[in-house]
Chains A and B, each alone.
Chain A
Amino acid sequence: MKKKEKIEIIREFTSDRKLISELEEILTSIQLKFPFGKDKFHNILVATTEAVINAIQHGNKNDPQKKVTVKIIAENKTIQILVEDEGEGFDPSTLQDPRTPENILKERGRGIFIIKELSDSTSIVTGKSGTVVKMEFKI
């Protein structure tokens, strides 16, 4: 019986946004073992980048002492990505759809909107010790 392949990668980012370019390298290495199309690669990269930027800017508030942890699990035609910050959490119900006249002028909510649109499933668990954004992509 063929053994199921699984890749699990964990990276910790400080609030230095330059490190985001590492994500591209990680996804490329996963793509070698779990082939998926160019569009899907782009979707995963955009959604993950948005989640990490959100975590740095809004979660950790650019505090260099706080870290953003990214966990990537590739298994069974699914890539699961968890992005966790060390901020004080927020109320996800306050984030509204930006595609309405009353919300388009608001500053926040674009990142989560993009993540939801690009991933096949998104969940947000938030509390006083941080926020975890979990994204799933079918490949």
Chain B
Amino acid sequence: MLKSKENRPLRLCILSTFLLIFFYEIRSQIVLSVFQDTSLKKNYISQIFDKQFNIYRLSSSLSFAQKFSSFNVSFLNDYEGFIIRGNEISKKDQEKLFLEVDKSLFHFLDLSIQSNYLFNSDTKTIGLYEAEKINGSVGLVLKLPPISKVLFTYGMEKIKQVSIEQYGPRLSLGANVENFNIIDVNLNSKLFLEEINLKDGRKNSNIFFNLKFDGQFEENNSLFISLDYSNLRRDYIVYPIYLDNFFETRKENRLFPTFGLSYNLFGKTYVNFTGQLNLFSINRYYNLFDPTNQYSAIERTLLEQSTEFNIELFAENKYFSPRFGLNYYLRNEENTIDKKYEIDNQTFSQLASTELQKNNFQNRLRLFYNFVFRPSKNNLTFLNGNLSILRYDTPSQLNDDDRDEFSFLTTLSTIQKFSEYYTLSISFDIQLNHLVFLKSTKSSLNNWNRIIKLTASSQYNTEFFLWKPNLEIYSNYLVYDFEVASNSTKSFAFRQFVYRDSLELFFSNIFMLSSILVYKFSERGKLFWNTFSMTKELGIKEFFMRALLYVSTKPKLQFGFGARIYNIKQVPLGKSSFHEEYSYYSFSPETEIKVFLGKDKVIFLQGWYELKFWNYKIAGENPNLILTTKVAL
């Protein structure tokens, strides 16, 4: 519905391919790649249409997998499209379509045919993401235990980026090993290679490799070692020239080894250790020199190395379970350029300086804890906390983001069940952040941020009603270290009170009332930390209420009707306030219809007609609609 007409031939092509395969059991030249996730566990069709305010959304999904006498068919289609209507209409579409047919030739050999279709379009972007891809391949799957599958395929792929369409042969090879046992150690491995050769040396390729050893020793001790490697190459059409022989190559390499150990120290006390290393690089260069694009004369390289270690010590007891941990993270990013075509030294130096400004080094130490108390079967109390220190350095003199960040966050919560009908929970959060920029140019932004939050909620649950009131008080104080020296940064305080309430009344099997009420009040102003006083500048009150009476008819229909009200009122407080006063109010009669067609088959329709008022004057209306259908096949 939201797609352009240009895609219709492709969609028809896919549909006809599907029918051809389905009825004539494979005589096609279409695609494959068994090593994609094609496990379709449930067959279903679902559709959502949603119109709220000026945003229209349509999403649909179809999943189908069926085993026939001599072959298996899997089909998957996902589509999501948005339209935002204003004076200009903007659209965004995404579609994925996948089809696979497997036919067993011998007990160790299958014939596999696959087709993939991908479509992306976004009118808000510059156009490069406007892309469409369709491929079709045919191949053989060799089943050799313990190597569960080896797949070789050959086919064709068509790629359309912006207005450039190209075709090329597609070759892929995949293999996997599942649960191969070597002396109590489990081995799993996957390999996937894919290459698509397009015109004038343009090509796209993928290499993915994964190897994992894991073992369980005794009841509570285990370890794993894994290695992931990927190598991707993409040749993109260049913005804004759009010639089919001018492209930018992007090569991405990643090596990612990880290690993990769980060890039972004594009794019910354990230690967990994980470590990982991430080596990552991206190379970008153009295949031709364009005098109007200085980046086409150079090759850009990004190198990123990061490592992370995590150690946790914990105990599991009936009444008390403590956990302590330490995490260390270190990351280095380096950006460099090299000359690929002739370029003057001054331009090259400028580009090198721009790249140098991106370089950074960061390390973070984090300590965390979690204590869980279970004094009785009706009480659960826990204390969580997290303390971290981050150092962020940039070698370039032109980048002044160098900073230290200190952060502390702790939460104390208790949940008490007083009876089978009544549960109370109280939670108290404290957050403290200190930000220090290391260069004087940004030191006016150095600040302490303190946040305190207290939440109390309870639940009454009887045969006739369910009531969940919730109260929250929140304070946020941001204090700049050098505000006296800077006219433009002012410390501020933000305080908020929120009451939220939901109530469900069950009058009978036929009638039920459901309501939600939210009241929020917040104020913001200049903060004077030394005297802990505040000059109020702005107050906002927000109110929302929705109440619906539901009528259920046996056995398949539920009908609800009621209304929703929303109000937001902004009030400038004090003489120094620069805010404007306004009040927005909307009232919407609302209805809901739910139709149950059987197990996992539901149609849901919801609509509300919004009447809007600005500063107590009528300001228009707006219909809203949501239609959801989900049918299990």
Contact = CB atoms under 8 A, between A and B. Distances in A.
A85 B563 CA distance: 39
Given A46-B580, A105-B520, A117-B612, A99 B617 contact: no
B568 interface: yes
* Most central of A18, A62, A99 by chain B CB within 10 Å: A99
Contact of B488 (A16, A42, A46, A123): A16
B259 interface: no
A139 interface: no
Interface in B426-446: 441-442, 444-445
Given A116-B54, A121-B88, A62 B580 contact: no
Contacts of B441: 65
A76 to B, nearest CB: 13
A46 B520 CA distance: 21
A55 B99 CA distance: 46
Binding site secondary structure of chain B = strand
Given A49-B580, A122-B86, A64 B568 contact: no
A104 B582 contact: no
A62 B544 contact: no
B584 A117 contact: yes
Contacts of B486: 64
Given A63-B445, A117-B612, A121-B87, A104 B488 contact: no
Nearest to B617: A39
A126 to B, nearest CB: 9
Interface string B614-627: 11010100000000
- Interface SS of chain A: helix, strand, loop or mixed? mixed
A43 B615 CA distance: 10
Contacts of B445: 62-64
Given A97-B52, A120-B87, A105 B500 contact: yes
A106 to B, nearest CB: 10
A114 B584 CA distance: 9
B315 interface: no
Given A63-B445, A99-B544, A121 B86 contact: yes
Contacts of A43: 614
A118 interface: yes
B88 A18 contact: no
Nearest to B441: A65
Nearest to B584: A117
Nearest to B487: A16
Residue from the set A15, A21, A62, A97 with the largest chain B CB neighbour count within 10 Å: A62
A17 interface: yes
B90 interface: yes
B628 to A, nearest CB: 15
B88 A123 contact: yes
Interface in B106-140: 124
Interface string B517-548: 01010000000000000000000101010100
Interface in A72-131: 93, 97-101, 104-105, 110, 114, 116-118, 120-123, 125
Nearest to B582: A46
Interface in A18-46: 18, 20-21, 39, 42-43, 45-46
B578 A20 contact: yes
A69 interface: no
A82 B520 CA distance: 31
Contacts of B619: 117
Contacts of B612: 117
A104 B542 contact: yes
B586 interface: yes
Contacts of A116: 53-54
A125 B619 CA distance: 27
B124 A101 contact: no
B489 interface: yes
A62 B86 contact: no
Contacts of B498: 105
Contacts of A63: 442, 445
B516 interface: yes
Contacts of B500: 105
A14 B52 CA distance: 35
Contacts of B124: 125
B453 to A, nearest CB: 12
A49 B578 contact: yes
A6 to B, nearest CB: 18
B67 to A, nearest CB: 39
Contacts of B617: 39
Nearest to B538: A53
Contacts of A122: 86
Nearest to A105: B498
A122 to B, nearest CB: 6
B213 interface: no
Nearest to B566: A99
A77 B618 CA distance: 22
B208 to A, nearest CB: 28
A21 B90 contact: no
A93 B568 CA distance: 22
Contact of B544 (A17, A101, A114): A101
B11 interface: no
Interface of A: 14-18, 20-21, 39, 42-43, 45-46, 49, 53, 62-65, 93, 97-101, 104-105, 110, 114, 116-118, 120-123, 125, 136
30 contacts: A21-B578, A39-B614, A42-B615, A43-B614, A46-B580, A49-B579, A49-B580, A53-B579, A62-B488, A62-B489, A64-B486, A64-B489, A65-B441, A65-B442, A97-B52, A99-B586, A101-B516, A101-B544, A104-B518, A105-B520, A110-B568, A114-B568, A116-B54, A117-B584, A117-B614, A117-B619, A118-B614, A120-B87, A121-B87, A125-B124
Given A105-B518, A118-B614, 10 more contacts: A15-B489, A16-B487, A42-B580, A46-B580, A63-B442, A99-B564, A104-B518, A116-B54, A121-B87, A123-B90
